[in-house]
Each structure stands twice: as C-alpha cells, then as structure tokens.
Amino acid sequence: MKERGSRSVVGVGTQTGGYLLVSDSSPKGWKRVGPFLKGESVNSISFDSKNGIFYAASLTEGVFTSKDFGKTWRPSSRGLHVRKVWTIEVDPNKPANLYAGTHYGHLFRSNDGGENWSEVAGLHGAPKRNDWG
C-alpha cells in the first residue's frame, strides 16, 4: 500500500492490464482506476510517492511510466535489453533510482526515473527460477 497525501493507493497487476485502487479515508471504500496497459501482462506496480509517478513492469514490453495518476502510460525501457520484467521497485530514499528484476535473473538499475537502464554487474548467471522476481 502506498500513500500520497490523504490517499492510499494499491497497484494491482493482472495478465490483461493493471489497476490502481484508491482510498481517500472516506467510508465509501476503494475506487478503481483502470484498466490501463490493456493486453499487457502487468507483473508489478511501484509508486514514487514523492513525485507522484507510477511504474509498471510488464512481461512483453518492459517498463511503463505514468505521471498523471494512471491516465496515460509511456514506455520507459531504453537500455533494458531483457523486456520480460517481473518486478520493479523505487528506492524510497532516492526515488530517481529504480530497480527492475527481469527474466533470466538479470537486475537493471535506472538513476534517472526510468529514462535509461543499465544492468547491475555480477548478477547475471545467478540461479534461475520461472517465478524469479
């Protein structure tokens, strides 16, 4: 669960797209935003609460970024040579730093909010599992 102001936000990935579930502490419960990235298998959604940016990891096209609370998404995969992304995380202390765990045990890092990616050295060839992430 992620918080921004008085709202709590949960990102939900599915095999056919992603959703954001939003609660504003009212008794009405949760509001669903989405689906977004229809047709994409969304594995993971991470949120930069300081800058209001969402990141989605997909199994076919890599990473996507939304700066307008999920209304629009753009590809953010330059340098990500393995596009089957299982998980994505934002560094809570330096939100411009992102980490993406991909198929075949690769780990990528971005220092510019997902604009460019480079592989973290020394991890390739780690033990593999189909559900690595």
Which pLDDT score is estimated for 122? Answer: 72
The percentage of the chain sitting over the pLDDT mark of 90, rounded to a whole number, equals 67
> What local confidence, expressed as pLDDT, does residue 29 receive?
81
| Spatial distance between the Cα atoms of 8 and 38, rounded to a whole number of angstroms | 23
pTM of this prediction exceeds 0.75: yes
Q: If you write DSSP's letter for every residue of the chain in order, what string do you get?
A: -EEETTEEEEEEEETTEEEEEEE-SSTT-EEEEEEESTTS-EEEEEEETTTTEEEEEESSS-EEEESSTTS--EE--TT-----EEEEEE-SSSTT-EEEEEGGG-EEEESSTTSS-EEPTT-TT----TT--
> How many Å apart are CA 25 and CA 35, to the nearest integer?
22
Mean pLDDT check: name the lowest of 24-33, 93-102, 123-132. Answer: 123-132
What is the structure's pLDDT at 9? 87
Give me the percent of the chain exceeding a pLDDT of 70.
86
Hey, what domains does the chain have and what are their CATH numbers? Answer: 38-119 (2.40.10.500)
Mean pLDDT score of the chain: 88
Question: For 11-59, how does the pLDDT look when each residue is reduced to its tens digit (9 = 90+)?
Answer: 999 999 999 998 877 667 888 889 999 999 999 999 999 999 999 999 9
Tokens of 23: 């609660």
